[in-house]
Amino acid sequence: FKPNHICKTMEVDASTTSGTAAASASDSLSAGSPGHMAPQGVQPSVNAALHPLVLLTISDHWTRCRLQFGHNRVLGALLGKQEGRLVEICNCFELAPYFSPANPQTADIDTIDAGFFQTRLAQYREVYPSLTVVGWYYCCDLPEEVTDTEAALHKQVCDLVMSDSPLMPVLLRLLPSSAATTAESLPVRLFESVLELVNGSPKCLFIPLPYSLATEEAERIGVDHVSRDMSGSGGTKVAEALAVQRSAVRALYSRLGLLLSYLRDVSAGRLPPCHAILRDLRRLADQLPVCGGEDFYRSFYRQCNDVQLTALLGTLIQATNTVHQLIGRTALLQDRRRRGVPSGYN
């Protein structure tokens, strides 16, 4: 890690000696933080605000890699801005990883393509000049603690973003197959990274970081359209109304088919007649409008004639336009012939 990263130190009782203070801090880190996690008493120094666009982009990245290449682990960079103690994560882009074993479906990511990162970061800076790299995301199902693979990748990310941001990057972990997800909680875990002295050497530790959702007007509209498309009801109110009518017509058609099947079985003697059901069917049939008689056919043919006249009017307008274009071109050709201009020249 670079020396100009922000470092935190454990608070130790001032009454003890310097050697005892270092030993107690080291013991507390090793006892209270298994692996790469900080002690439970350590509180995060920043607050995080997460935009829905980030979650949609990460989910799309994981879905594409899972379906096309079978990769269960994907990663990328997080773009955002920091104002005081608030880190706002606004956008992200994917990174190109390298898999060490031959089977990438189950292998951990070994290294990150630094050239691809710099190229993609330069492209995003042209579009979003106010955003900087504030962290990175890792998409896989892992335990609550940060693993050795994530710690190694985090060190590579720190080396890559050193020139872009002086702060330690945050880690966003998306759990796509998490079964504990509810309507109130998202399958997302955020971790703040800090540098601590453990046994006289610096070590990167991770603190669980709470977050809140921050949305803009454009994001709310986009998320609303995506949710409508996922529900299968379409993206407009017209599509929703048509879907409701289609469901109602299908339900009516299925129930009419059931009643017709019952009447056929009763007429053929396969089922005993039930007079209560037959009386209800008769009452239902009496309530239906009678599709017959002189008034019905007069109204029906009038509507048919109106539709046919509308279609014929459209055909006549199109034919008139074609004749008008033909007359104009014929007049232009005759004028050229009178002036002695060849027809092939303008």
Query: How do residues 231-271 score in pLDDT, each as one tens digit?
Result: 554 455 656 777 888 888 899 899 889 999 999 999 999 98
The answer, as to whether pTM is greater than 0.75, is no
Q: How far apart are CA 135 and CA 176, in angstroms?
A: 19
Question: What's the pLDDT band for 100 if we cut at 50, 70, 90?
Answer: low
Exposure on the CB side of residue 220, measured as CA atoms within 13 A: 5
pLDDT score of 20 more than 50: no
Looking at domain 36-218, what is its CATH homologous superfamily?
Answer: Cytidine Deaminase, domain 2 (3.40.140.10)
Rounded average pLDDT over 166-185: 69
Q: Per-residue pLDDT tens for 284-293?
A: 887 776 666 6
Rounded average pLDDT over 73-81: 87
pLDDT at residue number 108: 57
Chain centroid to CA 242: 25
Chain centroid to CA 177: 15
pLDDT greater at residue 286 or residue 31: 286
Instruction: Return the amino acid letter for 194.
Output: V
Tallying the residues shown for the chain, one arrives at 346
pLDDT at residue number 162: 72
Lowest mean pLDDT among 39-43, 56-60, 72-76, 335-339: 39-43
pLDDT at residue number 227: 62
Instruction: Return the amino acid letter for 78.
Output: L
Write down the domain spans for the chain.
36-218
Among 137-151, 222-236, 243-257, the range with the most confident prediction by mean pLDDT is 243-257
C-alpha distances in Å from residue 173, one per residue of 130, 279, 289, 330: 24, 65, 62, 72
Q: With b meaning 16 or more CB within 10 Å and e meaning fewer, what string describes 171-207?
A: bbbbbbeeeeeeeeebbbbbbbbbbbbbeeeeebbbb
The residue behind tokens 């092939």 is 344
Question: What's the pLDDT band for 70 if we cut at 50, 70, 90?
Answer: confident
pLDDT score of 101 more than 60: no
Q: CB under 8 Å to 5, separation ≥6 — which residues?
A: 158, 162, 166, 167, 168, 195
Average pLDDT value over all residues in the chain: 75
pLDDT at residue number 94: 87
Torsion angle defined by CA atoms of residues 10, 16, 20 and 22, in that order, rounded to the nearest 10 degrees: 20
Beta carbons of 60 and 226 less than 8 angstroms apart: no
